[in-house]
Amino acid sequence: MSDENPTGYSDEDQMVVTASHLIEDYGTTFVGIGLPMRAALLAQRLHNPELVMVFEGGSIGPEISTEYFPSSTNSMRVSRQALMLPSITDTFAFTQRGYMDGAMVGCAQIDKHGNINTSVIGDFDAPKVRLTGGGGAGDLTALAEELTVVTKHEKQRFVEEVDFITSPGYLDGGSAREEAGLPSVERIRVVTDLGLLGFDPETKEMRIEGVHSHSSVEEIKENTGFDIDVVDDVESIDPPSDEERTFLDRIESAR
C-alpha cells in the first residue's frame, strides 16, 4: 500500500476527511496536534462553522489561520482570536465538567477494546521503546462524551492487548469501564488509512464499520493483530471531494 493511491489524494487526506465528517454535529471538540487538528479545521471551515476547538495549551475557540498552520498545541498560533485563554488546569476542568462533545487523539498502540498506549513498547520497567507519554490524552479518553482515534493501520499498532494503558478505552470490554468508576463514553471510533472502526455495543470489541474506496475488508483484517469482526452493512466511505482536497492542499502549503 502506497501513501498515495491512484486517484491522486493521499491516505492522510482520506483519514483527515473521514475524521472531519465524524464531528460535523459537534459543538465543542478537544483537538490534538497533526491529523486531528487538520480534521477539526476542515470540519469547521466546510461542514460545521460553529465548531469550537479546544487545545491542551489553554486555548478555547481560536480562529486558526490556514496561512500559518500551528506546529504545536502550545503554539501562539492556536491562540489567534480565541474566545478564552484559560490555564491548562482550567481547560481540562471544562472537560471534567462535561463541556466537551468529543476529543480526537492519536496512538502508538490500540487494542481490541480501544485502550491506547503512547507510553512504552514492551515491559514498562525495561521497555524496547519509551514513547512520549499521554500528555492530557488520558483525561480526554476518560471524560469526553465521544472519542475519535486517528492512526495508521498497521498490525504492530493494532494489538490484542496494549503493552501499557496510557489512555482508557473500554478496558476489558463489557461494563469494565463503568465498573472501574469511569464515565460511560457514548462511542469510540477509530479512523485509519484503510477504513473506519467502531465497537460492538455489548462486548465493546472492535469491529470494521467502514472501508475507504482504495481499501477492502480483507486488507483491514490482514493489517490487524487480532481477529476483528465486521458489521453486516459495512459503509463504503467516499473519497475526499474536490473542495476538501483544495482546502487540505492549502493547509499543507502553510505547514
Tell me which residues are annotated as active site: 56
Taking the C-alpha atoms of residue 118 and residue 84, their distance in angstroms, rounded to an integer, is 29
Q: Which grid cell is 34?
A: 497533526
CA angle 251, 133, 4 (to 5 degrees): 35
Residue 184: Cβ within 10 Å count: 9
Cα separation values, 82 from 35, 73, 206, 243, Å? 21, 13, 37, 26
Give the Cα separation of 124 and 136 in Å (integer). 19
Q: Residue 246: exposed, middle, or buried by beta-carbon count in 10 A (0-12, 13-18, 19+)? A: exposed
Conformational region of residue 144, where left means phi above 0, alpha means psi within -120 to 50, and beta covers everything else: beta
Per-residue burial over 129-159, b = 16 or more CB atoms within 10 Å of its CB, e = otherwise:
eebeebbbbbbbbbbbbbbbbbbbbeeebbb
234: three-class secondary structure by DSSP: strand
